[in-house]
Amino acid sequence: MIIDKLYESVKNKGHVCVGLDTSLDYIPEHFMNEFVLEEEAIFQFNKEIIDSTIDIAACYKVQIAYYEALGMAGLMAYKRTLDYIKENKGIIISDIKRGDIAKTAEMYAKAHFEGDFETDFVTLSPYMGLDSIQPYLPYLKNKNKGLFALIRTSNEGAKDIEFIETKENKKVYEVVGQKIHDMGKEFIGECGYSAIGGVVGCTHVNEAIELRKGLDTMFFLIPGYGAQGGKAEDVALYLKNGNGGVVNSSRGILLAYKKAEDEIHFADYARKEAIRMREDIIKAVKSI
């Protein structure tokens, strides 16, 4: 199962998920000037990042909005990026955050689990109801795919809905998390985790131990590290025996060259930051 592949990747490479949320203004000017087409500049930038991190990244998260915003050229860069990761035997999480139902959800599933935009995992929002997740499940059964459902996100606005207390004295995100966890029991791999994972931000740590304990077969996609304030010690609380989650960093890795003020070697600094992040998390895990 794809979740076993991700588990092994974390075991062998560490917890870093490189976020390819590639904005045009992230690309160094000298590099941008080498290409006539924006599509080519974005893809070649991504290619350099992938080449420099493929041996140390557990997976890659590609946020589709950055590519959709550029129209057809952006979507071609998106497709070429997915294809290149596959060619290099990397694992892809397509960050699409879809959340519709019925036939529309079926079409979203077809769009991202087949054809030009085929990927390994997608991100979904379950807050419209569990029927927004169900159309994706046949691909988990028959096509070796996986998904990450939003449970408790890292943004400040999470408090507006996710933290509301229910009449059972549980927060909304706890109820949603348990429902998604139960749904995932049908798709548990040899590693003990389900192909239905959850997005859990590491910027809210007070409930981390309870979340990890209650959602024991759910593999976590953990945003919030670095630029959003999450620390390695926070991340470690969401892991179990050093596995069970990947930690995303986008700007921290893609823009590492800016701290060094060295645009020429941007890919080298992306690698150095990914290694630093990996070692930071491993150290925190060992200290628990």
Domain that holds residue 280: 2-237+244-287
pLDDT tens digits for 100-123?
999 999 999 999 999 999 999 999
Res 231 pLDDT > 90: no
List, for residues 261-280, the tens digit of each pLDDT value.
Answer: 888 899 999 999 999 999 99
**Cα distance between residue 42 and residue 185, in whole Å:** 39
CB-based contact 126:98 (threshold 8 Å) = no
For residue 56, how many other CB atoms are within 10 A of its CB?
16
Name the domain count of the chain.
1
Full-prediction pTM beyond 0.75? yes
Answer whether 1's CB lies under 8 Å from 9's CB. no
Q: Which residues are catalytic?
A: 97
Please give the pLDDT value at position 168. Answer: 86
Two tokens, residue 270 = 């992306």
For residue 17, the domain's CATH number is 3.20.20.70
The percent of residues above 70 in pLDDT, for the chain, comes to 99
- In 10 A of CB 110, how many CB atoms? 15
The set of residues, in sequence order, having a beta carbon less than 8 Å from that of 267 and lying 6+ positions away, is 48, 49, 51, 52
